[in-house]
Amino acid sequence: MMRTFAEHQHAVRELLAPIRGALDEPAGFEHVAVLDGRTDPGTSALGRVLGLPVDSPMDLPSFANSQMDGYAVRSADLAGAHPGAPVSLPVGPTSAAGDPLGRHAPGTASPVMTGAPIPLGADSVVPIEAADPPRFPDLGADRRDAAAGTSVAFDRPPRPGAFVRGIGTDVARGERLLPAGIRLGPAQLGALAAAGVTTVAVRRPVSVLLVSTGHELRAPGERLESGQIHDANTTMLAAALRESGARVREAVAPDDTSTLVSAIAASAGLVDLVVTTGGVSEGAFEVVREALAPLGVGFTKVALQPGGPQGIGLARVARPDGDDVALPVVAFPGNPVSALVSFELFLRPVLRAFAGLTPDRPRARLRLAHDVSSPLDKHQVRRGVLDGDGDVEVGAPSSHLLHAYANATVLVHLPVGVGELPAGAHVDVWRIDD
């Protein structure tokens, strides 16, 4: 019985659901250094998903500091200031970023730089632009303090706490700094570094064995004999898997069932998922179907073009230590466009969700630039680009047109039941130009 593409999406999600549970097990978490990525990107926490929550070991800020360049004052000393009667205060010692905590004398104005500690006794900061004169008196270079007798005037009273970053106002000691499940991007790593956190527990990535099958496949760059082709699927899908947060082991197998099963068995216990390309249709030499159907993988047709033949299920294979293990298998067609469309529809959203990434492509409903036709009984996914008016120019449907896919900016969805659409009709598209 033919499935809808939505039914097959659901089946893939159900198959892979136990993997998510395994990723959440603390025993499998990896401990990585927050800073290692500066010298060794392979150990970087960047892009990883936090396995355990992190509570801040300190107050941030850890001391009251100035939000502005200006003067630290006691607000009470300027309570009577107004434009008609400014209050003049003698200039006290200067505080710059990195200075130890100083003391503020009542009735003075202490120059304070952005990020510098607020001297004890001051409770607010007046920005330099609001002072008279609106510049520091001969400070800088080797001169830290104003000359004796220097004064500054203010014509408005500051509110207590003005332009002061209080202790713990970003995050208090013991407060949740980052929750479990968050993806560690630049801001998250910055927060960890600011709090002095050097190591975090992260979920391990999903580990995938990618197997491309076919006697005709040769590595890119190898000399081709008659009937041979360069293997695009391994490069293409390995990149797609890694971009979705997975770790990838690669294998290429000829059209030989025992070689294919051996390649999968060698990774049993080392990977969470097996992805294959090729050998899933109704031909006479469908190695994936022949090898994996007896092991428990089901093969079906999906009302989809390209990407109709699909395989899915648990393959029971023997690990190198002799124990049996049931490995989830998702089997895609071998035509490169069919394989990549299958990945986009069925696997990419699930893996990206596991990795803490946005699962879905950006979507829009746009006008067609020209007439299109589609098989009534299939959900057709076409590659397209936007013209100068923002309308969609739809490419040809053939599943071997990888060059057209590489230059496309959208995937155009033509659902079951749609046969002909005129120029100007609206269609659903997924943006793929990120």
Show the domains of the chain with their CATH numbers.
22-61+169-203 (3.90.105.10), 205-355 (3.40.980.10), 363-431 (2.40.340.10)
Going by C-alpha positions, the residue among 274, 264, 269, 275 that lies closest to residue 323 is: 269
Q: Which amino acid is at 217?
A: L
What is the reported pLDDT for 224?
Answer: 87
Q: Give the pLDDT of residue 4.
A: 94
Helix (H), strand (E), coil (C) string for 360-398: CCCEEEEEECCCEECCCCCEEEEEEEECCCCCEEECCCC
Residue 413: φ, ψ to 5°: -105, 120
pLDDT at res. 237: 97
Contact residues for 133 (Cβ-Cβ < 8 A; gap 6+): 152
- The mean pLDDT values, 10 residues at a time, for the chain of 434 residues are 92 95 87 70 78 97 97 97 96 94 97 97 98 88 81 97 98 97 93 94 95 88 88 94 95 89 92 95 86 96 96 91 89 95 97 92 97 95 95 84 91 96 97 90
pLDDT for 319: 79
What pLDDT sits at residue 98? 94
Buried b (16+ CB within 10 A) or exposed e, 397-416: bebebbebbeebebbbbbee
Distance CA(243)–CA(234), nearest Å, equals 14
For residue 83 the two structure tokens come to: 């434009």
One-letter amino acid identity for 18?
P
C-beta atoms surrounding 247 within 10 Å: 13
Q: Which residue has the tokens 């216990």?
A: 269
Structure tokens, 188:
């998250």
For 309, residues 6+ apart whose C-beta sits below 8 A from its C-beta are 280, 281, 282, 299, 300, 301, 302, 333
Q: What is the pLDDT of residue 43?
A: 57
Q: Give CA–CA dist 220/209, Å, rounded.
A: 20
